[in-house]
Amino acid sequence: MIARAIRGLATVAAIAAATTAAAGRSCEQRPPTALAVTRAMQLAEHTATRLEQSGASVVVLARAGQNLSEYGLRYSHLGFAYREGEGSAAVWRVVHKLNQCGSARASLYRQGLGEFFLDDLWEYEAAIVVLAPPAQAHLRALLVDNAAVARLDTPAYSMVAYPWSDRYQQSNQWALETLALAEEPAAATRERAQAWLRLHGYEPTTLHLSAFKRLGARIASANVAFDDHPNEKRFSDRIETVTVDSVFRWLERDGLGGAVQVIR
């Protein structure tokens, strides 16, 4: 679901050079097919057109990288797309967090639309939510600042990180907490950002995962952990985590964004 960290002096080089095989992929030496590249570029082109038509400077952008229909979910991963430059020279950049080769670590990346979609997608479909104008302005100030955008980044990663803990952080969780920081500058720690999200009514998705599934996932994958979840929820097979679908619902309900627009 979900790739080098944006930290310290190494940040600038890391965030600009998001072209390695580690960018959310399994790191197998397996080049993409010509068809996959063509479809990813077409989706990027259609998305760029829709973004220009929106008149927005910042949107929440999601992709369908995995089949999550078993859990009633459509999209697996989100990031922030923002417009850089003016007129015909303008381009769209995406800032998002990616797990590194299925490991227990993740980092932030700044990519173009083409690269964002060139990642073994389950469906060649994107979704955007245009943020309210004040939210766009607040968030854009963070997105263009390497240090600011990484302020709440935690490299320790779990695909099902608990939304109200700071032990791990998954990709969608980083985006949600960073949005909280943009809206409330006093939310300068993950604990405070999560408190702000609770106050504003964010509700995570509850996945129903049996003990057998949890054990299998933990043994087979370094990027899955459950020890940050409260025992009373974990042992009753209720795993709460941040999903794209839950973020989209909350954005519209809280007045921070509009309706979901689907791009195919």
Task: Read off the pLDDT of residues 228-245 as tens digits, 9 standing for 90 and up.
Answer: 999 999 888 899 999 999
Q: Is residue 176 part of a domain?
A: yes
Q: How far apart are CA 255 and CA 36, in angstroms?
A: 36
Q: What's the pLDDT band for 70 if we cut at 50, 70, 90?
A: confident
Cβ atoms < 10 Å from Cβ of 214: 19
Mean predicted lDDT score pLDDT of the chain: 87
What is the arithmetic mean of pLDDT over 17-42? Answer: 65
Q: Is residue 3 part of a domain?
A: no
Q: How far apart are CA 53 and CA 50, in angstroms?
A: 5
What is the arithmetic mean of pLDDT over 166-193? Answer: 98
Q: What pLDDT is recorded for position 86?
A: 81
Instruction: Say which CATH number the domain at 70 has.
Output: 3.90.1720.10
Q: What pLDDT is recorded for position 239?
A: 93
| Single-letter code of the amino acid located at 81 | A
Q: What's the pLDDT band for 87 if we cut at 50, 70, 90?
A: confident
Q: Is residue 1 part of a domain?
A: no
48 neighbors 58 (Cβ within 8 angstroms)? no
Cα-atom radius of gyration of the chain, to the nearest Å?
Answer: 17
Q: What's the pLDDT band for 186 if we cut at 50, 70, 90?
A: very high
Q: What's the pLDDT band for 16 if we cut at 50, 70, 90?
A: very low
Q: Is residue 95 part of a domain?
A: yes
What is the arithmetic mean of pLDDT over 156-167? Answer: 97
Identify which has the larger pLDDT, 224 or 87: 224
Q: Is residue 252 part of a domain?
A: yes
Q: What pLDDT is recorded for position 211?
A: 64
- Residue-wise pLDDT tens digits, 196-239: 999 999 999 999 877 656 655 555 578 999 999 999 998 888 99
Q: Is residue 104 part of a domain?
A: yes
What is the arithmetic mean of pLDDT over 93-117? Answer: 95
Q: Is residue 2 part of a domain?
A: no
User: CB-based contacts of 158: which residues, under 8 Å, 6+ apart?
Assistant: 104, 168, 169, 170, 223, 224, 225, 226, 228
Structural domain total, the chain: 1
Nearest-CA neighbor of 158 among 230, 225, 84, 249?
225
Q: How far apart are CA 247 and CA 253, in angstroms?
A: 10
Enclosing domain of residue 68: 8-263
